[in-house]
């Protein structure tokens, strides 16, 4: 057992004991039991300790904390990617977001990731988690869940793990900068159909952002991207197609 792990365990024990002193018997038992199960499963101790500190500080209720821990426990038991959930929890706690809103965000994410994992098949455990992470994070950024699920169900055998990860990472970046879902879907489907979307295309959002600075519409960039992908072109080819190179990036007039 590492020194850091021992320290985290001690901190959790102290925080939990402090919280339990302020609980009634039923509430205390439920919280203590859930914390123990989460620890045994192997969930990262740091966000758990921060959650207990928030309960102690009355920033989140004990009931909401138990529900949050229940989500983390299910994530652990079903081998879903843990980091997106602990990152979202840390973000909410750090910004002092009300407990019910933190819980709602985690619940929605949990539902989406469970749906994504249920659709993935034909990969080993490590590959499955990689695909689920990329697809789930795309949904988190605003790519429609049903579109992601359709891509997985219809194309996972044809596309394979690496291409699925690439198209979902590309979709995530595009959604993050507010590209309309219809354009995101056109680029993703062109990438899958052509099979030519290499890892450089994960940064296609940078090209769209640069094009916007040059008053080139998202629709025009999307049309160019589809044509380039059909011709098995690279992201560099897309830049040339819309009128600039990587050297020009950030130097629009």
Confidence band (pLDDT; 50, 70, 90) for 45? confident
Q: Is residue 12 within 8 Å of residue 45, measured between CB atoms?
A: yes
Give the phi and the psi of residue 24 in degrees, each rounded to 5: -75, 170
Percentage of residues in the chain having pLDDT higher than 70: 87
pLDDT at 28 over 70: no
What's the mean pLDDT when you consider all of the chain? Answer: 88
Question: Mean pLDDT over residues 81-92, rounded?
Answer: 96
Residue among 60, 146, 134, 147 at smallest CA distance from 104: 60
What pLDDT is attached to residue 245? 86
For residue 7, the model assigns a pLDDT of 34
User: CA 31, CA 189: separation in Å to the nearest integer?
Assistant: 46
Output phi, psi for 214, to 5 deg: -100, 15
Output the pLDDT for position 239.
Answer: 95
* CA nearest to 237, candidates 249, 225, 223: 225
pTM: 0.85
State which H helix or E strand residue 135 sits in: helix 125-140
pLDDT digits (tens, 9 = 90+) for 115-145: 999 999 999 999 999 999 999 999 999 999 9
């Amino acid at each position: 057992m590492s020194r850091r792990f021992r320290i985290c365990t001690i901190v959790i024990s102290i925080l939990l004991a402090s919280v339990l002193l302020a609980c009634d018997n039923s509430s205390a038992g439920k919280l203590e039991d859930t914390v123990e199960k989460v620890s045994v499963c192997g969930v990262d101790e740091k966000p758990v300790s921060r959650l207990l500190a928030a309960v102690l500080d009355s920033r989140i209720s004990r009931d909401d904390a138990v529900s949050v821990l229940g989500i983390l426990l299910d994530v652990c038991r079903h081998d879903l990617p843990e980091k997106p959930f602990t990152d979202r929890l840390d973000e909410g706690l750090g910004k002092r977001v009300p407990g019910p809103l933190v819980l709602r965000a985690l619940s929605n994410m949990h539902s989406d990731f469970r749906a994504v994992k249920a659709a993935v098949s034909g990969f080993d455990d490590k590959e499955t988690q990689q695909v689920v992470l990329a697809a789930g994070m795309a949904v988190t950024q605003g790519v429609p869940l049903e579109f992601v699920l359709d891509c997985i169900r219809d194309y996972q055998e044809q596309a394979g793990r690496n291409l699925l990860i690439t198209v979902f990472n590309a979709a995530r970046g595009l959604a993050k900068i507010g590209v309309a879902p219809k354009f995101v879907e056109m680029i993703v489907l062109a990438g899958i159909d052509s099979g030519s979307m290499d890892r450089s295309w994960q940064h296609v959002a940078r090209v769209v952002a640069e094009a916007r600075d040059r008053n080139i519409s998202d629709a025009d960039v999307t049309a160019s991207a589809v044509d380039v992908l059909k011709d098995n072109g690279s992201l560099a080819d897309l830049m040339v197609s819309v009128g600039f190179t990587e050297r020009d990036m950030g130097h629009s007039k």
